[in-house]
Amino acid sequence: MALTSQDIARIANLARLELQPAESERMLTQLNGFFDIVEKMRAVDTTGLEPLAHPVAAIQEVALRLRDDIASEPNQREANQQSAPAVERGLFLVPKVIE
Amino acid sequence: MTTPALHDLSVAELARQLQKREVSAVEAAQHFLGRIQAAPELGAFVALNEEATLAQARAADERIAAGQARALDGVPIAHKDIFVTKNFPSTAGSKMLAGYQSPFDATVVTRLADAGAVTLGKLNCDEFAMGSANENSAIAPLGFEQPAPVRNPWDSSRVPGGSSGGSAAAVAARLAPAVTGTDTGGSIRQPASFCGITGIKPTYGRASRYGMIAFASSLDQAGPMARSAEDCALLLSAICGPDPDRDSTSLDVPAEDFSRSLNDSVEGLRIGVPAEFFGEGLAPDVRAAVDGALKEYEKLGATLVPISLPRTELSIPVYYIIAPAEASSNLSRFDGVKFGHRAKDYSDLTDMYKKTRAEGFGDEVKRRIMIGAYVLSHGYYDAYYLQAQKIRRMIADDFQQAFKSCDVIAGPVAPTVAWKLGEKSADPVANYLADIFTLPGSLAGLPGMSLPAGFGEGGMPVGLQLIGNYFGESRLLNAAHRFQQATDFHLRRPEGI
């Protein structure tokens, strides 16, 4: 299996990455080089195996938990917005979304 | 006998002198800040804040004077710039976060500060911790106008390893007695090996990931890097512990004093030696050093047990599917809205996202985002991502099988010593293949460490990797400490340092 330049364009769109033509071409070669080493993995018989997400679950039950739904953080709006690219009256500014 | 310089003291000795008030925390901080500023050519540091450092040092001195000294009071350390910090910019080595000021400290940063450690500054690293050579940083190190790779203190024409390359170089060059690093697929162990220092990555879930800028959430772990196992144990004891409200994968395993069993005997310790780690891909000079280290362990009374980790090679594709998949998800937060870089010109919201991300991310990060987006996309998820997660279980099971006949596993950290700058930068897959010996332990979430074991080609350091079973950190540190009591590789220093 080899990726095509259409695949690269489709994935770049999914990933919201603008790629220049030369970059797309390089990406195509590099990703195909990478997927060559992935082929071996696809042939492994994994029938009946559960995927392992938290590695320690290999030996013991690991329950992902939720914390109580109570406000635990102080309001730090200014500190949180100090590194934002565009802020006005405490709101994040984005380009017009709804016409 | 001359008194050793402050930068030659171990963390343990420095902490002792600080507590006895033979040296003040302010003096220690100033000494290291001076060294850092006098040696910018390594490119190890990306940010200092002298005022914040000295304020922390003064507070440590006051506690010591008041008889309320904490374990690491006044010990200067530095953080990999993947941990967010209030008093220093937090960039993850990315243009995307250039100048970013975090409103909070990472848990690891807080815990070390609570133990009394004084932060000297932030250390260069590969962008979002993606890299094995520290050539992927987009941030100009101190003293540089432009981004520059970190250089290996043992040979400035070589890489320090990555992604915690700045961390490893700083310790090797005596710019800090100890530092933090993070390890996703080997990013503490491999640079520790390349720079001739000691580093440990704990069991996944023992160190909080809160405030560690996320790369691959099911793999990322923080850990200390220092010159000796004894020093690593001191820091690791401060770093580990549950963080239930802030990291949903943090394990409810209590903090531990990792120094308590350092001096235990290793007589009868069964060391598993995986055949797959000694195949033809292993350079002869690395093999010779690792073999020598194993012989040393036999002299100390340990027994070598042949074991097999049959899916070692498969760990490369498995890791390079899982980690990019998680990265593509984690890095979707960089959209130019709430923090970080935003492109100047764009036509609409989608165009803003695309241009912002195109400008803000470097090549390696883009490649991994692309791989991740692809393997998670409709029609490919089962064949790639899910398949990789299933083989990940097989790899973890292989380790459990191996640990039936051994207590720890030993082998090389990397197939070669540190390579030359630029040597592999045009070939990303070549970099991935060099991670072969660190990836299996990462995928299984096991604790692993690297300790200096000798020297290879060009006089470059070679590390020995020790992998323990889950929660086996103190045994690893014990085994490493006993080795370091019998050898002096960890005490050697690069020429001119």
Most B CBs within 10 A among A26, A38, A73, hence the mutation to make, goes to A38
- The CATH class of the A1-42 domain is mainly alpha
Cis omega (within 30 of 0) for bond into A5 = no
User: DSSP labels for B169-197?
Assistant: HHHHTTS-SEEEEEESSSTTHHHHHHHT-
Give domain limits for chain B.
Answer: 6-265
Amino acid at B406: C
Distance of CA B139 to the CA centre of its chain: 19
Q: Distance (Å, rounded) from C-alpha B9 to C-alpha B22?
A: 13
Burial B292-316 (b: 16+ CB within 10 A, else e): ebbebbeebebebeebebebbbbbb
ipTM: 0.96
Smallest CA–CA distance, residue B90 to chain A, in Å, is: 11
Q: What token pair was written down for B486?
A: 């019998």
A17, A66, A83: residue with CB nearest B339: A83
What confidence score (pLDDT) does residue B457 get?
97
B163 is catalytic: yes
Contacts of A59 (CB under 8 A, 6+ apart): B400, B470
The fold adopted by the segment(s) B6-265 is Amidase signature (AS) enzymes (3.90.1300)
Cβ contacts of B354 on chain A, cutoff 8 Å: 16-18
Helix %, strand %, coil % of chain A (to 5): 40, 5, 55
Cβ contacts of A72 on chain B, cutoff 8 Å: 245
Is pTM beyond 0.90 here?
A: yes
Q: What token pair was written down for B309?
A: 């980790």
- Of B187, B237, B250, B442, the catalytic one is B187
User: DSSP character for B141?
Assistant: P
Walk along chain B (497 residues) and give the pLDDT tens digit of each residue. 568 899 999 999 999 999 999 999 999 999 999 999 998 999 999 999 999 999 999 999 999 999 999 999 999 999 999 999 999 999 999 999 998 999 999 999 999 999 999 999 999 999 999 999 999 999 999 999 999 999 999 999 999 999 999 999 999 999 999 999 999 999 999 999 999 999 999 999 999 999 999 999 999 999 999 999 999 999 999 999 999 989 999 999 999 999 999 999 999 999 999 999 999 899 999 999 999 999 999 999 999 999 999 999 999 999 999 999 999 999 999 999 999 999 999 999 999 999 999 999 999 999 999 999 999 999 999 999 999 999 999 999 999 999 999 999 999 999 999 999 999 988 889 899 999 999 999 999 999 999 999 999 999 999 999 999 999 999 999 999 999 999 999 999 999 99
Tens digits of residue pLDDT in B97-142: 998 999 999 999 999 999 999 999 999 999 999 999 999 999 999 9
Phi, psi of B475 (to 5 degrees): -70, -40
Tens digits of residue pLDDT in B51-62: 999 999 999 999
Q: Distance (Å, rounded) from C-alpha B17 to C-alpha B270?
A: 37
Residue in chain A closest to B393 (alpha carbons) equals: A52
Smallest CA–CA distance, residue B473 to chain A, in Å, is: 14
Helix ranges, chain A (H):
5-14, 21-42, 77-81
Residue in chain B closest to A60 (alpha carbons) equals: B470
Do A46 and B99 make contact, defined as CB atoms within 8 angstroms?
A: no
Do A8 and B370 make contact, defined as CB atoms within 8 angstroms?
A: yes
Beta bridge partner(s), residue B80: B123
Residue in chain B closest to A27 (alpha carbons) equals: B367
- Of B163, B208, B425, B450, the catalytic one is B163
Tens digits of residue pLDDT in B343-360: 999 999 999 999 999 999
B80 is catalytic: yes
B217 is catalytic: no
Q: Distance (Å, rounded) from C-alpha B197 to C-alpha B461?
A: 9
Spatial CA neighbour of B436 closest among B414, B453, B410, B462: B414
Q: Distance (Å, rounded) from C-alpha B344 to C-alpha B346?
A: 7
Tell me how crowded residue B404 is: count the other CB atoms within 10 A of its CB.
8
Q: Distance (Å, rounded) from C-alpha B229 to C-alpha B291?
A: 20
Cβ contacts of A16 on chain B, cutoff 8 Å: 332, 335, 350, 353-354, 357
Do A95 and B245 make contact, defined as CB atoms within 8 angstroms?
A: no
